[in-house]
Amino acid sequence: MSASAQRQDHPRLASAVSYLDELIGFDTTSANSNLDIIAYLKRYFDELGMETTVLYDTSGEKANLIARIGPKDVPGIVLSGHTDVVPANPDRWSSAPFDMEQRGSRLYGRGSCDMKGFAACVMAAAPALIQGPLKRPFYFCFSHDEEVGCLGAPAIAKHLAELEVPPGLAIIGEPSEMHLINGQKGKIAMQVTVRGEGGHSSFSPQHVNAVEYASRIIAMISDRSRRYEREGPFDHDFSVPHATALATLINGGVATNVTPDTCEFVFELRSIDQQAAWVDMQALIDEVEATLLPEMRQVSSAAGIEWQERFSYPAMDDATGSELFQRLEPILPPRGGKVSYGSEGGVFEIDGGIPSVIIGPGSIRQAHKPDEFIEIDQLTQCLEFFDTLGDWMTRG
Ligand SMILES: [Zn+2]
């Protein structure tokens, strides 16, 4: 018999699985309101005696939750996760996406790894985590709209930053297979509208072809990306060790024989360093406008290029030098490098001044896909980590 087969289930695993079942049952696709899941979480943490705060967005249809406990005069620890999930097309799933299903060692369902598995572990561990005489406070945070550009987290980060003694470290539970991730790229998503002048395509030299100019801008974006690849700056803790830039959506033209007067496209810039990202973005805009606008305007004074930020979130810097991290490090899981996907870690750092790392159950490889799942053993590992953390919080 293998060692794993002999291993006893963690005493709180069954409750983590049943909380996960309930959490997956809320269809919190980002387009929907998340008020039901927030009310459910609030009720749970209220009953445990935690102090809860709900932060609504301007629409009133979305909210964040902060559940707090422990002394107020020392820096505490944030455990944070988002409540929303990416859309699920049931036709491409082997089971109903919002109905958790266990098959073998895996639990299937939208959000199982990204990132309701983490929230389920926080719920299951909470009674034990908060029972000890806490030397520091815990802040359990649940945000809205992470998947559409980290829209909820800034309000949480600002709320925490305004506390008399803000938290000293945020642990973001994005799926990292329970490794410690100490860096994450930032992203700017930009929408570009190229306005030209159209007409019957047989007269094309008299027109400004918006699709052609869009393609020239995209070629410049792609050149820039190749330059990052050649010249850096590099950080080899990332699997893609440099910034990247690419167009991801495009729409233009109306008919085969009409010179298109409008073309819209979206591109993204993923950066290692967020400040450099905005400098680079402005340099790109300047270069494009200096190269193409005079040419376009020679034909039509109405031609132009509009740039609109779709969303952006900051890169998460290396927090391993921060004071609370260094105290906590002996009990943290092994390091797993840095990641190129987005998380709220950078938001906590930039908007809240709270050093952040990622540690969460499940693998990012299963996220955002049909048949998303989490290995049950990942929940166990997360619960074991919370055992150690709870113990440390009564000493540290
Ligand atoms: Zn996520």
Q: What is the 3-state secondary structure (H, E, C) of the chain?
A: CCHHHHCCCCCCHHHHHHHHHHHHHCCCECCCCCHHHHHHHHHHHHHCCCEEEEEECCCCCCEEEEEEECCCCCCCEEEEEECCECCCCHHHCCCCCCCCEEECCEEECCCHHHHHHHHHHHHHHHHHHCCCCCCCCEEEEEECCCCCCCCCHHHHHHHHHCCCCCCCEEEECCCCCCCEECCECEEEEEEEEEECECEEHHHHHHCECHHHHHHHHHHHHHHHHHHHHHHCCCCCCECCCCCEEEEEEEEECCCCCEECCEEEEEEEEEECCHHHHHHHHHHHHHHHHHHHHHHHHHHCCCCEEEEEEEEEECCECCCCCCHHHHHHHHHCCCECCEECCCCCHHHHHHHHCCCEEECCCCCHHHCCCCCCEEEHHHHHHHHHHHHHHHHHHCCC
Do 106 and 18 belong together in one domain? yes
pLDDT in tens, 280-318: 999 999 999 999 999 999 999 999 999 999 989 999 999
Are 300 and 197 found together in one domain?
A: yes
pLDDT in tens, 186-239: 999 999 999 999 999 999 999 999 999 999 999 999 999 999 999 999 999 998
User: Is it the case that residue 3 has pLDDT exceeding 70?
Assistant: no
Domain ranges, residue 335:
6-183+316-393
Domain assignment present for 83:
yes
Q: How far is ligand 1, taken at its centre, from the CA of residue 173, in Å?
A: 8
Looking at the structure of the chain, the number of domains it has is: 2
pLDDT bucket at 1, cuts 50 / 70 / 90: very low
- Taking the centre of ligand 1 as the mean of its atom positions, its distance from the CA of residue 174, in whole angstroms, is 5
Of 312, 346, 369, the last residue of a domain is 312
Rounded to the nearest angstrom, the distance between the alpha carbon of 85 and the centre of ligand 1 is 7
Range from 112-116, 134-138, 338-342, 382-386 carrying the lowest mean pLDDT: 338-342
| One domain, residues 102 and 117 | yes
164 with 256, same domain: the answer is no
pLDDT of residue 5: 52
- Asked whether residue 243 is domain-assigned, the answer is yes
Residue 12 has pLDDT above 70, yes or no: yes
The CATH number of whichever domain residue 201 belongs to comes to 3.30.70.360
Predicted confidence (pLDDT) at residue 4 exceeds the cutoff of 70:
no
Check whether residue 177 and residue 150 sit in a common domain.
yes
Residue 337, domain member (yes or no): yes
Domain shared by 242 and 302, yes or no: yes
Same-domain check for residues 74 and 190: no
Q: How far is the CA of 344 from the centre of ligand 1 (A)?
A: 9
Whether 6 has a pLDDT exceeding 60, the answer reads no
Does residue 13 have a pLDDT over 80?
Answer: yes
Q: How far is the CA of 147 from the centre of ligand 1 (A)?
A: 7
Whole-number average pLDDT of the chain? 95
- Domain boundary (297, 312, 327) is at 312
List CB-based neighbours of ion ligand 1 within 5 Å: 114-115, 174
Report the pLDDT averaged over residues 375-379. Answer: 98
